A and B are shown apart, each in its own frame.
Chain A
Amino acid sequence: MIKLVSFGDDLVKGTYKVHSRFNEVVNFCSGSSFVFIVNNSIGGGPFNIVADDVKFSELENLVITEDHFQLNDEKIFFEFSKRYDSKIKVMNFDEKKFFQNLDHFEKALIDNSSGKSLTFLLDESRKKNFKSSYEIELVRRFNSALECFTSSNFVEGVKLIKGIGFGLTPSGDDFISGFLLALNCLQKFYAVDYSELIRHIYEAAKGNNAFTNAFLLAAKNGYLFEKFKNLIHSILYSGQNEILENTRTLISFGETSGADQGVGFLFGIKRNLK
């Protein structure tokens, strides 16, 4: 019997079919909506249903209704206490601490992430890991995009990097979703309005890949997956050790996805505060 651990706060009602299946995750889709059935080690998210005792290899059908979901033939009711909150709440924003901790995050990211991640944007020496002609072109495009960002030409920059790079969600899209999350956070920290910029970036980044679009949409709306939310919490309120731990947890997501999103977040914060 499936045991519900948590369910996302942005689940869309509908009848879903399997999109892709891995050891600890089954991704379901219905049109442009996604629901991810995951185990505890993946954690919560706006579209995640976290459950124990799931036979991932046997999942075929999913129906989401107002008060329950049905996986194959098993019906499980949503309990409000298990609703995952994907929004971050900022109570006391200590700018000095935040910036100190951001430096710890940057260092942790560089020290711990895969050689093929976008951390070469933070540490030039990591460019040496990019050797094939495809990888060299990837570096070149990111450098061009950063020049666009520096001159506030965000949409052009986004167009240069969207859809490029490694992984199921390409590195460029991960970077953009991190950047969008940064803008959403800055809105909360400084009570500024970036909604137009967020909308433009999202529109420029959207592609034909519904799976990637789902992540971009979540980032546009400021919905955070648990690993990223924990990281931002530690940057706001904790110290170096917790940041290191949460950075390591974040970058364990995919080969480079977590790290790439982290780099996008750092750039989003630093660039826009300049």
Chain B
Amino acid sequence: MIVTGILKRGEYFDSVSLMLIAKKISELEIVLDSAAVMGTPENKSMLQTSGLLTDELQNADDIDLMIAYKCNSQNESDLISKKINEFLKKSDNTNKSSGSLNPSSLESALKILPDANLAMISVAGKYAGDEAMKALQNGLNVMLFSDNVSVEKEIELKQFAKEKGLFVMGPDCGTAIINGVPLAFANVVNRGNIGIAAASGTGLQEVSCLISNSGCGISQAIGTGGRDVKKDVGGIMFLEGIKALAEDKNTGVILLISKPPADEVIIKIIEVVKKIEKPIVGVFLNSPIELFENSKITIAKTLEEGALLAVAYSKKENIEKVFQKINKRDLELKALAEKESAKVNKNQIYLRALFSGGTFCDETQMIFQNVDKDVFSNTPVGRVKKLKDIWKSEKHTIIDLGDDEFTVGRPHPMIDYSTRNKRILAEANDPETAVILLDIVLGYGSNMDPLAEIIPVLNEVKKITSKQKRYLPVICSVTGTEKDPQNRTTVAAALSAEEVLVMDSNAAASKLAKFLIEKKR
């Protein structure tokens, strides 16, 4: 066994980078033991006790970084050393990049890129509003990724933008695809003639991927931030988005996505679409469908249905075929649910749905509305009840792990799977869990290696349930495309190999879970 020490004299890395480097080293399979800490005398003494202090590290000072690791051979040690240097270099580049391509203000950014027409703003909420206004005053459209911007500021920004003929996407806008360029959390989709206006980030990702996977494509996908369609903001940008898509010559079909808009906003939407000649499909999750009766909008119940209807319009097919196709597929899901339910024990009766995408959480709640009176969520909609303790499931539980309560101080669960992984194991240990329902969202912004995060946990679930002589179905939708850096087919195939029931959409995954639960009742 070999112990190797690497001493980086006077090199400062912030704590987050240090922990990340330490984690990456410990995750290398050939590393038997490791530590990455500052060279204080006390840390040296700790390394000595741990059998990790080398001669070289004896000379470390308080301001030096010490990295120590144990492995089986010199060849392995050399390989690990090379990897560590790569990690350090990457971290160094990330933290200390400088020069003209790292502008420190909007003004200097505009000097570098005078033709820019969109500013993406992702700074702390209390400063984001002012930065966005500065961008608008410079004639830039704005994608405002930041949240915690006051509603008053949002209205001010959007009214100003409207007067200037500009867009403000956000605040809290996580997804957009503009002129074929995916922004923030977005997927690599085909270009085509379907334009999307969305007040729902995950919803936008789901429909754009389903459209792309069906062979059609996106002209523009405009995110507005969820609050835009509420009473206070009054749908300022959602309505402007619809008008822009109506005027866009590359858009032939318009798809609208939102969680329930305020009634006043619905009236405005219906009014605006009256003048539009293009086919319009609307997915307004958990909104009463009757509000849209006699409007020009073809209403879809789920994101999947909305995407497929838009595809049918784009291909100039009969939309009735969409409903027939979904009905046929649902029959297949029922048959699969019957088989699966026969494998689970009689006391396994509850759904545990753990989502990284907030809109999926809403969509699944909608699908489960009438399944049972005891459906709980941390973000309840409709008849679903509020969980007393978000960290503990009750009966049927549907969780949005991307909600603020879970994410402060941690990356979003589409990036960092650790919170959900812990919860998956907790649900697997509960003898009353009948099915675990998950989503995996691919694309830019999301975790680049989701399989490395999820597969070990799925194996652990199998160990737990087989020890308890139970079978626990895991259903998962994968939102993504072949062109995404993670590649949807690769991810779906690897999950299927682990006996996960992989579905093309969250609606299909939720329906399968629903049919399975209904069989158990």
Contacts and interface: CB of A to CB of B under 8 A. Distances in A.
Contacts of A211: 63
Interface in B34-48: 34-35, 37-38, 40-43, 46-47
A53 B96 contact: no
Interface in A131-153: 131-138, 141
B13 interface: yes
B14 A53 contact: no
Contact of A54 (B13, B50, B104, B126): B104
B258 to A, nearest CB: 28
A168 B12 CA distance: 7
B323 interface: no
Interface in A120-136: 131-136
A100 B22 CA distance: 37
A167 B43 contact: no
Interface in B351-404: 391
A71 B272 CA distance: 54
Contacts of A167: 15, 18-19, 38
Contacts of B26: 131-132
Contacts of B126: 40
Nearest to A256: B15
Nearest to B62: A209
A72 B391 CA distance: 50
Contacts of B20: 255
A12 to B, nearest CB: 20
Nearest to A161: B42
A212 interface: yes
A80 interface: no
B123 A255 contact: no
B432 interface: no
B16 interface: yes
A212 to B, nearest CB: 7
Interface in B46-71: 46-47, 49-52, 61-63, 68
A164 B46 contact: yes
Nearest to A113: B409
B179 interface: no
A146 B157 CA distance: 53
Contact of B42 (A20, A58, A162, A255): A162
Nearest to A23: B95
Contacts of B13: 168
A269 B34 CA distance: 34
Given A133-B52, A137-B50, A170-B40, A57 B62 contact: no
A58 B96 contact: no
Interface stretch (A84-92, A187-195, A246-254): A246-254
A212 B124 CA distance: 27
A141 B95 contact: no
B63 A251 contact: no
User: Of residues B19, B34, B52, which shows the largest number of chain A Cβ atoms within 10 Å of its Cβ?
Assistant: B19
Interface in B107-130: 123-124, 126-127
A172 B13 CA distance: 18
A81 interface: no
Interface in A226-274: 245, 248-249, 251-252, 254-257
User: Of residues A54, A134, A209, which shows the largest number of chain B Cβ atoms within 10 Å of its Cβ?
Assistant: A134
Contact of B104 (A55, A166, A249): A55
Given A40-B124, A58-B98, A164 B19 contact: no
Contacts of A163: 40-43, 62
A21 interface: yes
B177 to A, nearest CB: 28
A172 B50 contact: no
B99 interface: yes
B99 A252 contact: no
A166 B19 contact: yes
B63 A134 contact: no
B100 to A, nearest CB: 10
A254 B14 CA distance: 7
B50 A133 contact: yes
B408 A134 contact: no
Contacts of B318: none
Contacts of B391: 111
A162 B18 CA distance: 19
Interface string A154-171: 000000011111111110
Nearest to B68: A134
Nearest to B18: A167
A177 B409 CA distance: 21
B33 A133 contact: yes
A53 B34 CA distance: 40
A255 to B, nearest CB: 4
A221 interface: no
Contacts of B37: 134, 165-166, 170
A138 B22 CA distance: 15
B97 interface: yes
A208 interface: yes
Nearest to A40: B127
B429 interface: no
Given A164-B43, A166-B15, 20 more contacts: A22-B14, A22-B96, A23-B95, A23-B96, A40-B126, A53-B105, A57-B104, A112-B408, A112-B409, A133-B50, A161-B42, A164-B42, A168-B18, A170-B38, A172-B42, A207-B41, A208-B41, A208-B62, A211-B63, A255-B19
Interface of B: 12-16, 18-20, 22, 26, 33-35, 37-38, 40-43, 46-47, 49-52, 61-63, 68, 95-99, 102, 104-105, 123-124, 126-127, 391, 408-410, 418
18 contacts: A23-B95, A23-B96, A53-B104, A57-B97, A57-B104, A112-B409, A115-B418, A163-B43, A166-B37, A170-B43, A207-B41, A207-B42, A208-B41, A209-B40, A209-B63, A211-B63, A254-B15, A255-B18
Interface of A: 20-23, 40-41, 53-58, 111-116, 131-138, 141, 161-170, 172, 207-209, 211-212, 245, 248-249, 251-252, 254-257
Give the 3 A-B CB pairs with smallest separation, nearest first: A57-B98, A163-B42, A163-B40
